[in-house]
Amino acid sequence: MDNALAGIRILDMTHVQAGPTASQLLAWLGADVIKFEPPTGDITRGQLRDVPGVDSLYFTMLNCNKRSITVNMKSAAGKAVFEGLLQECDVVMENFGPGVLDRLGYNWESIHAKNPSIIMASIKGFGSTGPYAEFKAYENVAQAMGGSMSTTGFNDGPPLVTGAQIGDSGTGLHLAIGILAALQARHRTGRGQFVEVAMMDAVMNLCRVKFRDHQRLTRGPLPEYSVSTADCDAAPRSGNDSGGGQLGNAIRCKPGGANDYIYVVVQEVVWEALARRIGGDALVQDPRFSTLAERRKNQSQMWQLLESFAAQYTKRELMALLNQLDVPCGPIMSTHDLAQDEHVRLRDMYVPLDHPERGSWHNVGMPIKLSNNRVEITRSPLLGEHTEEILKEVLQWSPETIERHRQEGAFTK
Ligand X SMILES: CC(C)(COP(=O)(O)OP(=O)(O)OC[C@H]1O[C@@H](n2cnc3c(N)ncnc32)[C@H](O)[C@@H]1OP(=O)(O)O)[C@@H](O)C(=O)NCCC(=O)NCCS
For the CA atoms of 338, 342, 348, 349, the dihedral, rounded to the nearest 10 degrees, stands at -10
| Options 96, 289, 397, 411; binder of ligand X; rule CB under 6 A | 96
Q: Are strands 194-198 and 32-37 parallel, antiparallel or unpaired?
A: unpaired
**Listed ranges 16-24, 290-298, 300-308, 311-319: which one lies at the site for ligand X (CB under 6 A):** 16-24
- x/- map, 193-222, ligand X, by CB under 6 A: ------x-----------------------
Identify whether the C-beta of residue 52 lies closer than 8 Å to the C-beta of residue 40.
no
**Alpha carbons 80 and 64: distance in angstroms, whole number:** 27
Query: Would you give the DSSP letter of residue 93?
Result: E
Q: In this complex, which beta carbon is closest to ligand X, that of residue 100 or of residue 177?
A: 100
Q: In this complex, which beta carbon is closest to ligand X, that of residue 196 or of residue 348?
A: 196
Q: In this complex, which beta carbon is closest to ligand X, that of residue 27 or of residue 217?
A: 27
Task: Write down the least CB distance from residue 107 to ligand X, Å.
Answer: 13
| Options 3, 24, 65, 95; binder of ligand X; rule CB under 6 A | 95
> Using alpha carbons only, how large is the chain's radius of gyration in Å?
26
Task: Write down the least CB distance from residue 122 to ligand X, Å.
Answer: 9
Report the residue number whose CB is nearest to ligand X: 97
Beta strands in 38-173, from DSSP E residues, in sequence order: 66-70, 91-94, 119-124
Name residues contacting ligand X, limited to 233-262 (CB under 6 A): none
- Is 103 a binder of ligand X (CB under 6 A)? yes
Task: Write down the least CB distance from residue 144 to ligand X, Å.
Answer: 13
Residue 119 CB-density burial (10 A; 0-12 exposed, 13-18 middle, 19+ buried): buried
Query: Would you give the DSSP letter of residue 314?
Result: B
**Listed ranges 91-99, 300-308, 345-353, 393-401: which one lies at the site for ligand X (CB under 6 A):** 91-99
**Alpha carbons 27 and 64: distance in angstroms, whole number:** 8
**Alpha carbons 54 and 357: distance in angstroms, whole number:** 6
Strand partners, 254: 314
Known catalytic residue: 55? no
| Options 5, 16, 166, 402; binder of ligand X; rule CB under 6 A | 16
Q: In this complex, which beta carbon is closest to ligand X, that of residue 60 or of residue 249?
A: 60
Which residue from 322, 372, 365, 311 is spatially nearest to 341, judged by alpha carbons? 365
Task: Write down the least CB distance from residue 126 to ligand X, Å.
Answer: 9
Identify whether the C-beta of residue 298 lies closer than 8 Å to the C-beta of residue 275.
no
For the CA atoms of 126, 130, 136, 142, the dihedral, rounded to the nearest 10 degrees, stands at -30
| Options 2, 51, 87, 136; binder of ligand X; rule CB under 6 A | 136
Q: Which one is catalytic: 55, 90, 168, 213?
A: 168
- Is 123 a binder of ligand X (CB under 6 A)? yes
Which residues, including other chains, have CB under 8 Å from residue 173's CB and lie 6 or more apart?
A: 21, 22, 25, 202
Q: In this complex, which beta carbon is closest to ligand X, that of residue 83 or of residue 317?
A: 83
| Options 72, 143, 242, 363; binder of ligand X; rule CB under 6 A | 72
| Options 8, 10, 11, 17; binder of ligand X; rule CB under 6 A | 17
Q: In this complex, which beta carbon is closest to ligand X, that of residue 77 or of residue 227?
A: 77
Task: Write down the least CB distance from residue 249 to ligand X, Å.
Answer: 33
Strand partners, 198: 124
User: With b meaning 16 or more CB within 10 Å and e meaning fewer, what string describes 372-401?
Assistant: ebebebebbbbbbbbbbebbeebbebeeee
- x/- map, 32-51, ligand X, by CB under 6 A: ------x-------------
Chain residues binding ligand X by CB under 6 A are 16-18, 38, 71-74, 95-97, 100, 103-104, 123-125, 136-138, 168, 199
Question: Which residues are marked as active site?
Answer: 168
